[in-house]
């Protein structure tokens, strides 16, 4: 019995001895943590930052976007507090002689220096915190085209489409690089005339069958979604209603977008959409492509042009047949009408009165 008690006592002592080092280690960790925190605070108070300063993220102008202003507003995001930001803008990616090199304290900048119209630019920035600067951000490129928006508006007005309520949506889409292609097609005197705008980062080819369809093949290595805009006049694709135009995407029909802003935002849907804006002399067709590779888009009449011809000819023949049938029916009625009945009191012939001789 004593042996058992001794063994139990020994075991109890052994457990307590095993537990004491763990408690000591916990106390040591608390002391080390407190000391480290005090040192970090002291370094910060003395102007020393031991942690790296992260680079900010450029937002606008977006990479590959187009600015319609000669003084575009630059915006960016930063994950850590900053004392200041240095921004550089140059027409050369080496930034050897930047057109803009300035320091600001906010996370946006509107330059007073005018950029050159029709020129491509690069921009980058870095942040500074307690005297330590971050690395430069990723370099973004953009184009300046002051007249692009007015050009697109004029093309819409030529089709009898009002740009009211659409210009701002177009400008935002252009700035955010959401438009892959703006194609304007007219059929004049049997010849097809076309112009391309905003064709950046994509390869396009198109074929026009006047009076019937427009087929576009578009390819891009950029996986981000974009929208293509196609203007067609009534000679290229005759139509009198928006529902008279059909859009095929890789050979299949696609759903209708909710509105103009919806179709200009291809990233909000996982499936392609289209929208038709009808004007007095033509239509604007917008197709959103959520993911890019190679796609074929066909814009055509809801009924083929040959079918429309057959319907028109059939309508003329129907009218002719109705007129001919109506005239034949009238003649038949005239022939089959019965003779009028004899009068109840036939007229008696009147004898001439005897001639009167003059009496002498």
In a domain, 8, yes or no: no
Domain shared by 259 and 298, yes or no: yes
Domain shared by 253 and 176, yes or no: yes
Contact 257, 247 (CB under 8 A): no
| CATH number of 123's domain | 2.60.40.10
Domain shared by 118 and 237, yes or no: no
- Write phi, then psi, for 325 (nearest 5 degrees): -60, -40
pLDDT value of residue 64? 86
The percent of residues above 70 in pLDDT, for the chain, comes to 71
Q: Where are the beta strands (DSSP E) in 149-293?
A: 179-188, 191-197, 203-209, 213-219, 226-233, 245-249, 252-253, 255-256, 273-278, 282-289
Q: Quick check: helix, strand or coil at residue 317?
A: helix
Domain shared by 254 and 166, yes or no: yes
Return the minimum-mean-pLDDT range out of 143-152, 188-197, 306-315: 306-315
Which has the closest alpha carbon to 295: 254, 242, 338?
A: 254
Domain shared by 169 and 303, yes or no: yes
pLDDT value of residue 10? 42
Over 60: is that where the pLDDT of 224 sits? yes
Q: What is the pLDDT of residues 238-249, one digit of tens each?
A: 887 878 899 999
> Which structure tokens are listed for 297?
């888009």
Residue that is last in its domain, among 93, 109, 144? 144
pLDDT value of residue 339? 58
Domain shared by 128 and 163, yes or no: no
Domain shared by 160 and 300, yes or no: yes
Q: How many domains does the chain have?
A: 2
pLDDT value of residue 244? 86
In a domain, 44, yes or no: no
| CATH number of 300's domain | 2.60.40
Q: Which residues pair with 126 in a beta bridge?
A: 86
Task: Concatenate the DSSP letters of all residues of 323-339 into one string.
Answer: HHHHHHHHHHHHHHSPP
Domain shared by 301 and 153, yes or no: yes
In a domain, 191, yes or no: yes
**Banded model confidence at residue 39, pLDDT cuts 50, 70, 90:** very low
Between CA 286 and CA 273 the distance in angstroms is 8
**Banded model confidence at residue 200, pLDDT cuts 50, 70, 90:** confident
> How far is the CA of 221 from the CAs of 185, 200, 202, 203, 225, in angstroms?
26, 11, 8, 10, 11
Which has the closest alpha carbon to 279: 246, 248, 305, 241?
A: 241
Domain shared by 130 and 207, yes or no: no
Higher-pLDDT residue of 325, 244 = 244
> How large is the greatest C-alpha to C-alpha distance in the chain, in angstroms?
203
In a domain, 254, yes or no: yes
> Which structure tokens are listed for 300?
């055509």
In a domain, 217, yes or no: yes
Contact 274, 288 (CB under 8 A): yes
pLDDT value of residue 187? 82
Over 50: is that where the pLDDT of 333 sits? yes
Residue that is last in its domain, among 144, 160, 192? 144
pLDDT value of residue 4? 44
Q: Which of 32-41, 62-71, 80-89, 303-312 ranks highest by mean pLDDT?
A: 80-89
Neighbouring CB atoms inside 10 A of 214's CB total 22
Domain shared by 157 and 303, yes or no: yes
In a domain, 3, yes or no: no
Domain shared by 107 and 169, yes or no: no
**Residue for token digits 């002498």?**
360
Q: Which of 264-268, 276-280, 313-317 ranks highest by mean pLDDT?
A: 276-280
Task: Please give the average per-residue pLDDT across 297-314, as a whole number.
Answer: 65
Residue that is last in its domain, among 144, 169, 188? 144
In a domain, 268, yes or no: yes
Q: Write out the residue range of the structural domain in which residue 92 sits.
A: 57-144
Domain shared by 102 and 186, yes or no: no
Q: Quick check: helix, strand or coil at residue 38?
A: helix
Between CA 50 and CA 344 the distance in angstroms is 134
In a domain, 295, yes or no: yes
């Amino acid at each position: 019995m004593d042996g058992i008690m001794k063994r139990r006592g020994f075991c109890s002592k052994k457990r307590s001895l095993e537990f004491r080092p763990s408690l000591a280690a916990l106390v040591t960790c608390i002391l080390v943590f407190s000391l480290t925190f005090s040192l970090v605070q002291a370094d910060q108070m003395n102007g020393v930052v031991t942690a790296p300063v992260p680079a900010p993220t450029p937002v606008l102008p977006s990479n590959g976007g187009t600015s319609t202003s000669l003084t575009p507003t630059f915006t960016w995001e930063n994950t850590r507090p900053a004392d200041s930001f240095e921004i550089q803008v140059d027409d050369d990616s080496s930034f050897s002689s930047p057109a803009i090199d300035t320091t600001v304290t906010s996370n946006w900048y509107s330059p007073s220096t005018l950029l050159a119209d029709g020129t491509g630019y690069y921009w980058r920035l870095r942040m500074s915190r307690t005297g330590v600067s971050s690395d430069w951000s990723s370099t973004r490129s953009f184009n300046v085209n002051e007249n692009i928006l007015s050009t697109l508006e004029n093309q819409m007005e030529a089709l009898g489409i009002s740009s009211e309520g659409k210009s701002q949506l177009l400008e935002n889409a252009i700035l955010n690089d959401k438009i892959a292609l703006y194609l304007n097609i007219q059929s004049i005197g049997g010849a097809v005339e076309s112009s391309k705008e905003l064709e950046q980062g994509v390869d396009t080819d198109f074929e026009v069958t006047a009076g019937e369809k427009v087929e576009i093949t578009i390819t891009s290595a950029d996986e981000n979604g974009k929208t293509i805009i196609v203007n067609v006049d009534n000679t290229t694709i005759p139509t009198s209603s928006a529902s008279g135009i059909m859009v095929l995407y890789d050979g299949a029909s696609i759903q209708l977008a909710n509105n103009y802003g919806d179709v200009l935002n291809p990233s909000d849907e996982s499936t392609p959409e289209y929208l038709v804006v009808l004007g007095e002399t033509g239509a604007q067709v917008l197709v959103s492509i959520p993911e890019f590779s190679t796609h074929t888009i066909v814009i055509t009449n809801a009924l083929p042009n040959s079918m429309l011809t057959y319907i028109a000819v059939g309508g003329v023949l129907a009218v002719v047949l109705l007129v001919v049938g109506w005239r034949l029916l009238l003649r038949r009625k005239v022939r089959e009408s019965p003779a009028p009945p004899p009068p109840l009191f036939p007229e008696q012939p009147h004898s001439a009165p005897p001639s009167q001789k003059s009496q002498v």
